[in-house]
Amino acid sequence: MRNAGKLNVLGILIDAMDYEAAIDVVFRAAREKRATTISALAVHGLMTGALEREQKFRLNHFDLLVADGQPVRWALNLLHEARLPDRVYGPTLTLKICSRAAAEGIPVYFYGSTAEILGALRQTLEETFPKLIIAGMESSKFRRLTTQEKIEVASRIKGSGASIVFVGLGCPRQEMFAFEFRDILTMPILAVGAAFPFLAGKVPQAPSWMQAAGLEWVFRLAAEPRRLWRRYIYLNPAYVFLLSLQALGLCHFSTDGQCPAKESLYG
């Protein structure tokens, strides 16, 4: 188990840890019924915090931020000599947690995405982990939730008997969701990005060699150019430039953010 603690990458405090350490945090929180916010961050997620002070505040108040993308893992190794051998990829983390939850009889809940994707995800998980207890699945409303809707969503999750909730709303909405539900859900809340459609087989994943080489973004851009071109064309070069400044000691990135003035809850 490897855990080098929280390390500054462009002002975002990333936990330099492996799958085993991350999973241990999740299940300790589940057993203790303790609210714990966790996100698997790739470059896009990290940059939303680096460039926006309220999002930086949210991310740096998470209990756990793990390196979902290879470029984030490389940054930890380059800047801090973390010596992480692998990233903590959201879809793989989801499967590993479901596997252990099935073995230990711990119910899980899935919030986000569409009803179609959730239906396919349920089928995949039930075939892969026959003993997994899926306490509930709820699709996104794809808009801001009202205060009453927030209360109702939390009530449904708690009433389901779930001990772990996975959130798949896309970045940065899922991190906003986790941040704003942390005081009313006494369980680990995991923001796992595109894990839902990937595991449901609705969105293709990059070949393993592209993932290992940090070229997953190329595959995703080719698959969904209209939706993703701005994210990769602008943010990837900005990430490399800012990371170079930090690595060369030319710029210090503060971890201080700005407390959100109001809720920005999406569901």
From the list 108, 131, 95, the residue with the least C-alpha distance to 22 is 95
Q: What is the pLDDT of residue 264?
A: 64
Predicted confidence (pLDDT) per residue in 13-60, tens digit: 999 999 999 999 999 999 999 999 999 999 999 999 999 999 999 999
Instruction: For residue 227, name the pLDDT band (cuts at 50, 70, 90).
Output: confident
Q: Across residues 140-150, what is the average pLDDT?
A: 86
Pick one of 2.60.40, 3.40.50, 1.20.1300, 3.30.2250 as the CATH number of 3-200: 3.40.50
Beta bridge partners of 166: 110, 190
C-alpha distances in Å from residue 218, one per residue of 100, 132, 191, 221: 32, 34, 23, 5
Report if pTM > 0.85. yes
Predicted confidence (pLDDT) per residue in 93-141, tens digit: 999 999 999 999 999 999 999 999 999 999 999 999 999 999 999 999 8
Is residue 87 scored above 70 in pLDDT?
Answer: yes
Is residue 204 scored above 90 in pLDDT?
Answer: no
For residue 71 the two structure tokens come to 């470029």
Q: What is the pLDDT of residue 91?
A: 96
> What's the DSSP call for residue 91?
H
Q: What is the pLDDT of residue 249?
A: 94
Instruction: For residue 192, name the pLDDT band (cuts at 50, 70, 90).
Output: very high
Q: Across residues 216-234, what is the average pLDDT?
A: 80
Domain residue spans in the chain? 3-200
Mean pLDDT of the chain: 93
Instruction: Say if residue 110 is exposed, middle or buried (CB neighbours under 10 Å; 0-12, 13-18, 19+).
Output: buried
How far is the C-alpha of 171 from the C-alpha of 190, rounded, in Å?
12
Q: What is the pLDDT of residue 220?
A: 83
- Name the residue with tokens 């190329």: 218
The answer to whether 38 touches 52, Cβ cutoff 8 Å, is no
- Exposure string of 178-188, with b = 16+ CB inside 10 Å and e = fewer, is bbbbbeebebb
Is residue 214 scored above 90 in pLDDT?
Answer: no
Q: Which residues contact 108 (CB under 8 A, 6 or more apart)?
A: 97, 98, 101, 132, 133, 134, 135, 162, 163, 164, 165, 166
